Amino acid sequence: MRIIVVGCGNVGMTLTQQLSKEGHNITVIEEKSSVVQAVVNNLDVLGIVGNGASYSIMKDAGIESADLMIAVTNSDELNLLCCLIAKKAGNCHTIARVRNPVYKKEINFIKEELGLSLVINPEEAAAVEAGRLLKLPSATKIETFARGRAELVRLVIDDNSRLRDLALRDIPSDLKKQVIIAVVSRGNDVFIPDGNFIIRSGDEITIIGPSSNTTSFFKKLGLPAVKVHSSIIIGGGGTGYYLAKQLIALGIKVTIFEKDSSRCKELTDLLPQALIINGDGTDKDMLLEEGVMSTESFVALTNLDEENIMLSMYVKSINPKAKLITKVHRVNYGEIIGSLNIGSVLYPKNITADRIVQFVRGKNASQDSNIETLYKMNDDRVEALEFIVRQGSPVVGKPLVDLKLKKGILIACISHYGEIISPSGESVIRDGDSVIVVTTRTGLKDINDILEN
């Protein structure tokens, strides 16, 4: 696909990296020439220095023959203008990043009128993910499939876990039946485990199953499976606002720390039920005063990665029971941050990039299936994809044991008219089902790609 990416900040860079890895022809437009230089040196893409909303720059980038234009600059208005111009000049698909909550209410109108294919709000997406984690605090990551009916949940096995030192085949059937253990990561290695695989203490396992089962799976493991009751949020920016709004709706007590006093006033208007503290979240005394020792969850959402990580480590040391969520912008140090053991880490850039990659792959797929959802995990080494199976696909109608799957592919879940099945060898995929596949073979575009030729 010919893709033009306008704006090469955090999200733009991650996105360009992802899409270029998938083999698309990418042209990047960015105003800072040093950034363009860096992108062109590191990735096999074409760089153009200039304002993406300019028609002549768009023409230079080949908008007339492009298939997709993605506008991810810092400014919502610029992004929308880029989309408008791209649509008129090239009649291609357009994707815009729009963050301002004011536009959020009117987003469907804007989408319709400007002919946008997709609008993403990274802050809201990050907040949704954080909100899910606070509903099931023992999980380090939760993603949903099949319109929320199936879930992918990640958790860490500790020394006291019932699963410790058990081979998968020996797991008690009350646990085994409910969900599928799809991925295990141990240190720097990632496995898609088979029956003989033995789970060790310290492993991070990813389970996939119906949403109701994941909760009871947690209960049976003796892990808390109820939502938190209180939350301290550091940083009242976009993500903080969206998160607080969700949590308040769930009846969770929310405290927000925000440095900027005028923003605090805005927040009090927007979130009358929340406690807004005008102060620096890194002020230890103030944190203690506002009950950091007793809070059930702590979410660090400032704009500085270092500050977020430091805060989380501090809270971990004084209040080890609290659920921690840390927002990190830099994606390159995932392994190190993972080893710090500070609970869940949110990468807003990845969330956005995943959504767009999912869209692009879906556009690339053939007619008889398409990608409904895509999540990248473990530093992009594992992907979980949800496909809708259309008529005539060769995977239909045969028991799973008879399908010749490629290596490194696991069918984790089948959704049949809303009924979620954790499949066994005898399960059969039917037309119209949605199938969740977990794989170490990144880059699947189509359900048929899982079969050996």
Partner 1 sequence: MNYSMVRFVLFRLLTVLGGLLILPLLVAIIYREYTAAQIFFLVAISCLVLGVVGAHKKPLNKVIYAREGFFITAAAWIIMSIVGAVPFFLTGTIPDFVDAVFETVSGFTTTGGSILTSVDSMAKSVQFWRTFTHWVGGMGVLVFLIAVVPMADGYSMHLMRAESPGPVVGKIVPKVKDTAKILYLIYFAITVVETVCLMISGLGLYEAVTISFSTAGTGGFAITDSGIGGYSTLTQGIITVFMALCGVNFTVYYFLIQRKPKEAFAIDEVKFYFGVMLLSAFLIGLNVYMAGIVNNPGMSFHHALFTVASVMTTTGFGTLDFDKWPMFSKTLLMGLALVGACAGSTGGGFKFSRALIAVRNARNELNFLVHPKAVKRVFMDGHTLDGTTVKSVSAYLGLYVITMVASILVVSLDNFDYATTVTSVIATLNNIGPGLSMVGPTGNYSQFSYLSKFVLMFDMLAGRLELLPMFIMLKPGTWKK
Site of interaction with partner 1 (CB under 8 A) = 2, 20, 25-27, 33, 40-46
C-alpha pair distances (Å), 168 with each of 61, 197, 307, 409: 52, 6, 40, 17
- Residue placing its CB nearer to partner 1 in the complex, 66 or 311: 66
- Residue placing its CB nearer to partner 1 in the complex, 26 or 116: 26
Cα 259–Cα 307–Cα 187 angle in degrees, nearest 5: 150
The distance of closest approach from Cβ of residue 49 to partner 1 in the complex, given in angstroms and rounded to an integer, is: 8
Interatomic CA distance for residues 7 and 28, integer angstroms: 7
Task: Please count the other Cβ atoms lying within 10 Å of the Cβ belonging to residue 231.
Answer: 28
Task: Please count the other Cβ atoms lying within 10 Å of the Cβ belonging to residue 368.
Answer: 19
- Residue placing its CB nearer to partner 1 in the complex, 16 or 246: 16
- Residue placing its CB nearer to partner 1 in the complex, 41 or 367: 41
The distance of closest approach from Cβ of residue 63 to partner 1 in the complex, given in angstroms and rounded to an integer, is: 13
- Residue placing its CB nearer to partner 1 in the complex, 20 or 295: 20
The distance of closest approach from Cβ of residue 70 to partner 1 in the complex, given in angstroms and rounded to an integer, is: 14
The distance of closest approach from Cβ of residue 44 to partner 1 in the complex, given in angstroms and rounded to an integer, is: 4
The distance of closest approach from Cβ of residue 61 to partner 1 in the complex, given in angstroms and rounded to an integer, is: 10
The distance of closest approach from Cβ of residue 32 to partner 1 in the complex, given in angstroms and rounded to an integer, is: 11
- Residue placing its CB nearer to partner 1 in the complex, 50 or 224: 50
The distance of closest approach from Cβ of residue 45 to partner 1 in the complex, given in angstroms and rounded to an integer, is: 5
Task: Please count the other Cβ atoms lying within 10 Å of the Cβ belonging to residue 222.
Answer: 11
The distance of closest approach from Cβ of residue 441 to partner 1 in the complex, given in angstroms and rounded to an integer, is: 17
- Residue placing its CB nearer to partner 1 in the complex, 27 or 246: 27
The distance of closest approach from Cβ of residue 65 to partner 1 in the complex, given in angstroms and rounded to an integer, is: 10
- Residue placing its CB nearer to partner 1 in the complex, 278 or 442: 442
Contact 312, 246 (CB under 8 A): no
CA dihedral 254, 347, 147, 24 (to 10 degrees): 160
- Residue placing its CB nearer to partner 1 in the complex, 190 or 451: 190
- Residue placing its CB nearer to partner 1 in the complex, 48 or 126: 48
The distance of closest approach from Cβ of residue 383 to partner 1 in the complex, given in angstroms and rounded to an integer, is: 20
- Residue placing its CB nearer to partner 1 in the complex, 234 or 360: 360
Q: What token pair was written down for 324?
A: 């921690």
Q: Which residues pair with 415 in a beta bridge?
A: 420, 434
The distance of closest approach from Cβ of residue 64 to partner 1 in the complex, given in angstroms and rounded to an integer, is: 11
